[in-house]
Structure 1
Amino acid sequence: MGWGRKKKPKSDIEHKRGAILLEDLIKCCDGKSNPIKLFSTDEIRKATDNFSESNYVYELSDFDCKWYSGKNENHHKILIKKADDGLYNYRQGHLCRDIAVSSIVSGHKNFLKLVGCCLESENPVMVYHGVKRHYKLNLSEQTWKRRMKLAEDITTALAYLHTAFPRPFVHTSMSLGNIFLDEDGVVKLSDFSCCVSIPEGETFVEVDKVVGTYNYLDDKYMRNGVVSEETDVFAIGMFMILNILTGTESFLDFYLEEKEEEKEQGEGEDYGTDYEFESKMRRRLQNWLSKLKEDRHMDEIADPKMLEKMDQISEQELCQMEAFLMLSLRCMISLMAFLTT
């Protein structure tokens, strides 16, 4: 069903989504009732003025989904995430996992508050409680003090996923694109489409498909599909170093692009198999991290964009940055173990 047509009887795709969602809700909620408000296409279209350009939230939108602001009789401000064309036609389980997990973490301050969803359209939507403004995190605008607070909020959100439920949840998809800020600057971790639930009493689970951003994937997950709380711990450690402290998120992306360019030109290093390439990438990363641990002044390590905002760095701030670096490296113990084998 398209958004421009009148509502028709439930389609097979809606029944399929509903069945998967119900199964996921029962599984994620440990068998307890967790009702989800279901909106019709007409209700969503009315709330967004038929997805008008004036309601489009370009700051949040990307190639996966489009975001719109809106309102209805029960909520003076809502935020709507609409899946991009055809995206969920082959990812029904991911959509339902996002809805299910969002519904049970909505009460925590570091997650978007889910209101409901609409499953009957070809492009399903999720509806969140809105505030005056949500925007994606731009670290280049943040001071050191603010960056420490952001790191604390993100780790608090991950810790909640890991500890608040009988079946721990592992986010697995750490990236800047999944972190929002509200009008008060409070972190909102989003997108649970690839979130993995660990069976009660177990410490890990094996999955068939590895997803996520390469920069933040630990080796047990990337090589063997083993997901545990360490998967998120590794990811936040990488995030803290690459994004918050050094501002070098594109470090690994640069080498991925380099490999493709050399392959096209038939030049450069012989990377061999994907496994060999990953090993070389990991060792390059290890060399880079080792340099961070050397006796270098912090102003050679810290993000230049952040330093530009500071007239001078106090001794206290230098100590904080050093401790921040050491903590980040400790989060990546699995990488260090891999590189010594």
Structure 2
Amino acid sequence: MKSANWLVLVLAVILLEFLSWRTEALFTPTDNYLIVCGSSQNVTFQGRTFVPDLLLSSLSLKSESTSYVATSNSSVPSSLYQSARIFSGVASYKFNIKQEGRHWIRLYFYPFPKSGHDLLSAPITVVADDFVLLNNFTFENYNGSFLFEYAINVTSATLMLTFIPWNNSVSFVNAIEVVSIPDAVLPDQALALNSSAPVSSLSESALETVYRLNMGGPLITAQNDTLGRTWENDSKYLHVSSSAVNLSVNPASIKYTDSITQETAPNRVYATAVAMGDANVPSMNSKVTWVFPVDSNFRYLVRAHFCDILSQSLNAMVFNLYINDDIAVPSLDLSTLTGKLNLPYYKDFISKSSAESGTLTVSIGPDSAVDITNATLNGLEIMKISNDAGSLDGLSSAANLLPKSLSKKNRIPVIIGSLVGAVAAVALIGFCCCCMPILKSKVTNHGHPMLPLRLYGNFRTMTKISATSQKSGRASCISLASSNLGRFFTFREILNATNKFDETLLLGVGGFGRVYKGALEDGTKVAVKRGNHRSEQGLAEFQTEIEMLSKLRHRHLVSLIGYSDERSEMILVYEYMANGPLRSHLYGTNLPSLSWKQRLEICIGAARGLHYLHTSAARSIIHRDVKTTNILLDENFIAKVADFGLSKTGPELDQTHVSTAVKGSFGYLDPEYFRRQQLTEKSDVYSFGVVLMEVLCSRPALSPGLPREQVNIAEWAMSWQKKGMLEQIMDSNLVGKVNPASLKKYGETAEKCLAEHGIDRPSMGDILWNLEYALQLEETSSALMEPEDNSMNHIPTIQFTSLEPFDNSVSLINVGNSGIDDDGKDSATSSAFSQLVNPSGR
């Protein structure tokens, strides 16, 4: 009897502790506005009840508006989108706030197709107090419903949410949430990766949730998150799906602490994870990487969630966390940080996108300092941080967008400040004009080591001043005074050629910098690439590009005419390619579609250029960034490979690879190189295989907005190629216009290029033979018999161009030679190369 009583007592204590834990864990928001706009009745959505906007006494709406309710048979996504509030003028919702502090603002949109208004093209601008949430956003290029989530710090007794129509259009919204957030959920400071210093006062900024992922687990909706958040599955953002495996445990096994609760993330997030996969090649250089397209003009708060649900004992999980190219956390030891298994942990960082790709990447990989070849990640949140204008969309501030009567800020100080700033700027310019001749005179006549004034920015992080340049008073990024580097241009010549970098002459913007169309004094058209001084990587690429192209001459490589490094500038001058990058002729522009024959000829030209790089010297040159934007077309659509800033000299004769950090563009990266950091010529072959599929399908290498199986063109196209149905995904402009035999050979060639392991891929020479064969098949009668096998070997019945040497190619020039071909008759040394020996050059 006593033992029974004791058992009941123990169960009672356990139950009380459980109920106490549940009470502490569940958060009840002080402010909890869930409103459905335009409706006359409550709507239940994901387990929560939304109340009509006009029935709340603590909410007021000031506007010229109409309500729209979809008919019962309308195909709306859910009941929450059954109605909308449509505004023909400026409209404001005023929320009474009981407790100051951070609040979620969630906006729901569904552009009804039959509402009497063109909601798809209606420009949506939304301002919350002093923050711009949306600015002229339209739904024209999107389908379905939309949820935007923001976090702002409300510092008064009211929150004003204003919708501003533009251009005689309307604005609209279907539902709104304004909900309190616990103080501890979002940080006030986080570590900035590039500076290794914390960024403080984040509570003064607005945040927008752009990605929130449940790694290795299913979709988690608002009804399963105490703060109403949505967590999507991570699989469509994985760079290489085979690099990861999914793990899961019972959510009840997750143990929270006082500092990390269900409000940090639901236990369902910590109960699933992604760990290292592809057990065929376990390596310390392996990584699992997720790729996220982002706006490169903003900073991002990145929160990584961890929980060791994999290990059987402590100290069995030590790994590195990477964000872009930075090691965010080296030797992350979860056991030391938590002291237990199944115990959550998270870390916050501030980062920006990769300048070249416009993406933000997060990776996990083993730590080379320990003998553990595994890593794990449970959840990830990426939130955009408002800029100096208080905007999350563009550069306009709330004060500039709101009508004067609604702006919370007094505009008079702004106007006065602007006038004072303008007067100061004029005075500074006048001072510089007066002083510059004196400074120049001092430097020229007396050898004073004073550097010239910079055109813009602070270049201290990248400018290297040699002893020679100190004596001459000229700052130089690197020592380039070598006779084999082509013509040296003065900065004045560059300014004249580009009309002072006229923006109307801008051809494109890349990771290295901006490219302008220009004309030299003799009328030769050129492309002028002006480097971005804010990047150390730009300095390395500038030097590599000059060193590589000064030794390379080939009809299918873009020719370097010269360079300029005056005034700490990094400027490269190339031959002008009138038809621009190949990608522009495949998608994203209104240019005429390329014929199949044109596409084959372009691919053949690019293959010749790459084959020359791989075979024309004792040590090959690996391009390392083969993609459709780096294949340029001249006025005759002759293809030339460009951008050698990431190029690398290949392995020695007695070596199989070069061990080097991974560089390149996501979507084109060789997965074997990515895992092992072992670079070979076959890495270029894989990238070229992606280009072949891109040329056939006329779509990007990565399309994160598509269904999971279609995101990566290499995986998607290969699945159709293996079914022998490549014609199902080809560019619609080519349907019915391609010889089936030609398409078959082309598909086989691309398939070989995209083999998982480099040893199974063909050489660029083999690829060239087969592409030329595909072209021959296209040019012959459709009755021509198809090849009987899938071999990548040359078919002897077809006449091909000789590979050794290529037409119009020049052998690799040894360092110390003049930089031009010994045979002056080579057609590659045309008008472009006449500039190399221009007497006005150095």
TM range (shorter): 0.7 to 0.9
One-letter amino acid of the structure 2 residue matched with residue 102 of structure 1: L
Residue deviations 1:54-93 (CA, integer Å, cap 9, x gap)? 5x133x4446422223333456333211123524x44322
CA positional deviation for 1:40 = 2.3
Q: Is the 8 A contact 1:292 1:301 kept in 2?
A: no
The one-character-per-residue Cα deviations of 1:215-237 (angstroms, maximum 9, x if unpaired) are: 11112211121111101111111
2: CA distance, partners of 1:57 / 1:284: 30
Q: Distance in 2 between matches of 1:34 and 1:115?
A: 11
Specify the alignment match of 1:267 in structure 2: none
| C-alpha distance in structure 2 between counterparts of 1:286 and 1:69, whole Å | 37
* Distance in 1, Cα, partners of 2:558 & 2:621: 16
Counterpart secondary structure, 1:80: strand
Going from structure 1 to structure 2, the CA distance change for 1:14 and 1:159 (only over 3 Å counts) comes to: farther
Does residue 601 of structure 2 align to residue 153 of structure 1? no
Asked if 1:327 corresponds to 2:327, the answer is no
Query: 2:716 aligned with 1:247, yes or no?
Result: no
**TM-score normalised per structure 1:** 0.73
Q: Give CA-to-partner distance per residue, 1:100-137, whole Å, 9 cap, x none.
A: 112222x3111222111112334411012346x24222
Kindly indicate whether the alpha-carbon contact (under 8 Å) linking 2:697 and 2:730 is maintained by their aligned counterparts in 1: yes
Aligned residue in 2 for 1:92: 539
- Matches of 2:638 and 2:579 in 1, distance apart? 10
Aligned to 1:17: 477
Unaligned runs of 5+ in 1: 26-32, 260-279
CA contact (8 A) 1:245 1:321 kept: no
Cα deviations by residue, 1:232-258 (Å, 9 ceiling, x for unpaired): 1111112112x11223434x4427x98
Give 1:212 shift: 1.2
Counterpart for residue 29 of structure 1: none
Percent identity over paired residues: 23
Partner-residue secondary structure (3-state), 1:334: coil
1:204 to 650, 654, 657: 657
Within 2, Cα distance between the matches of 1:57 and 1:38?
A: 22
| Aligned residue identity for 2:622 | V
Q: Is the 8 A contact 1:36 1:117 kept in 2?
A: yes
Tell me: CA distance 1:288–1:65, structure 2 relative to 1, closer, same or farther (3 Å). same
Aligned AA for 2:719? Answer: S
**Between Structure 1 and Structure 2, which shows a larger proportion of helix residues?**
1
Query: Given the superposition, is the C-alpha separation of residues 75 and 128 from structure 1 closer, same or farther in structure 2, using an over 3 Å criterion?
Result: farther
**1:104 to 2:556 alignment:** no
Letter in 2 for 1:194: L
Match of 2:729 in 1: 301
Check 1:38–1:184 CA distance in 2 against 1; reply closer, same or farther (3 A cut).
same
Number of residue pairs the alignment of both structures matches:
289
Normalised TM-score (structure 2): 0.31
- Partners of 1:14 and 1:178 in 2: how far apart? 32
Deviation at 1:197, TM superposition (A): 0.5
More moved, 320-329 vs 138-147: 138-147
Q: Would the aligned equivalents of 1:179 and 1:190 in 2 still touch at CA under 8 Å?
A: yes
Residue 51 of structure 1, CA deviation? 1.6
The residue number in structure 1 matching 2:144 is none
Q: Verify the 8 A CA contact 1:86 1:122 in the aligned structure 2.
A: no
Structure 2 residue aligned with 1:223? 675
- Structure of higher CA gyration radius: 2
Are residues 10 and 136 of structure 1, via their aligned partners in 2, closer, same or farther at CA, if it must alter by over 3 Å?
Answer: farther
In the TM superposition, what is the alpha-carbon distance from 1:306 to its structure 2 partner?
A: 3.0
Q: Distance in 1 between matches of 2:603 and 2:492?
A: 40
Aligned to 1:262: none
Aligned to 2:614, the other structure's residue is in SS state helix
- Find 1:172's aligned residue among 616, 624, 628: 624
Larger RCO: Structure 1 or Structure 2 (Cα < 8 Å, ≥ 6 residues apart)? Answer: 1
Unaligned regions of 5+ residues in structure 2, if any? 1-432, 444-448, 452-462, 467-475, 588-592, 761-842
1:176-213: CA deviation from partner (whole Å, max 9, x where unpaired): 22121111111121111100112442442110x21112
For 2:728, the aligned partner's letter is E
1: CA distance between counterparts of 2:503 and 2:747? 43
How many Å separate the matches in 1 of 2:522 and 2:465? Answer: 24
Q: Return closer, same or farther for 1:249/1:68 CA change in 2, 3 Å cut-off.
A: closer
Structure 2 match to 1:266:
none
Task: Give 1:284 shift.
Answer: 10
CA contact (8 A) 2:576 2:634 kept: no
**RMSD, aligned CA:** 3.4
Q: Distance in 1 between matches of 2:712 and 2:515?
A: 39
The 1-side partners of 2:697 and 2:549 are apart by 31
Alignment partners' CA distance in 2, 1:326 and 1:44: 46
Aligned-pair CA distance for 1:281: 10
| Contact persistence 2:703–2:710 (CA under 8 A) | no
